[in-house]
Amino acid sequence: AAPQLSPDDPFIKPMQSPPSVSPGIQRRHTLPASEVRPLNTQDAISVFEIEREAFISVSGECPLHLDEVRHFLTLCPELSMGWFEEGRLVAFIIGSLWDQDRLTTEALTLHKPCGSTVHIHVLAVHRTFRQQGKGPILMWRYLQYLRCLPNVRRAVLMCEDFLIPFYRKSGFKVLGRCAITVANLTFTEMWYPISGHAYMRRNTGCV
């Protein structure tokens, strides 16, 4: 029997509408209207362009520079997630594994394969797709996906204080002031529990 996919599968592709014309005269490479998938190094430039526009105008700093985007998409692409509309990247998350209770400067550039904490480096949405709820939806799908990873116990991130309410709505809780500073910017560290979801793992097709 064919495997049953959960409707909450973070990477499930939406059903396509029935073709209105004969398949023989359709374009052969029609792109899906909407798709969520892990990112790869070929997506790095699109990722960085969205990130640069989103962050430079607000804080003057990017969470990840282009070489760091490529670095994490090479080491741990499975901890990234991109939302594409007709083949165009419109929102993304990039994460890596960390192995300490709190973030340190090394967490900005290192991936610790044996860690049980996912450090979410960046969530960004293309400027023309903001104010549509895509950021919270993508974060929800990402957190659902992390529950499928057997060794992951929690997710952490650092953000400027004005973003705390945004992440609280996604279920994150404040850990305290972050030890990391970038230029003159200070951050709050937040966390989300992933452990304790064994029932969820058994009932959402997670291996």
17 is catalytic: no
The residue from 66, 75, 108, 110 that is catalytic is 110
96 is catalytic: yes
65 is catalytic: no
DSSP E strands: which ranges in 62-170?
Answer: 80-85, 88-98, 117-125, 154-159
31 is catalytic: no
Distance separating alpha carbons of residues 114 and 75, to the nearest angstrom: 13
The residue from 103, 167, 170, 197 that is catalytic is 167
The residue from 80, 96, 97, 192 that is catalytic is 96
123 is catalytic: yes
The residue from 123, 138, 143, 146 that is catalytic is 123
Using alpha carbons, select from 130, 139, 204 the residue that is nearest to residue 170: 139
The residue from 71, 121, 126, 197 that is catalytic is 121
Residues serving a catalytic function are 96, 110, 121, 123, 167
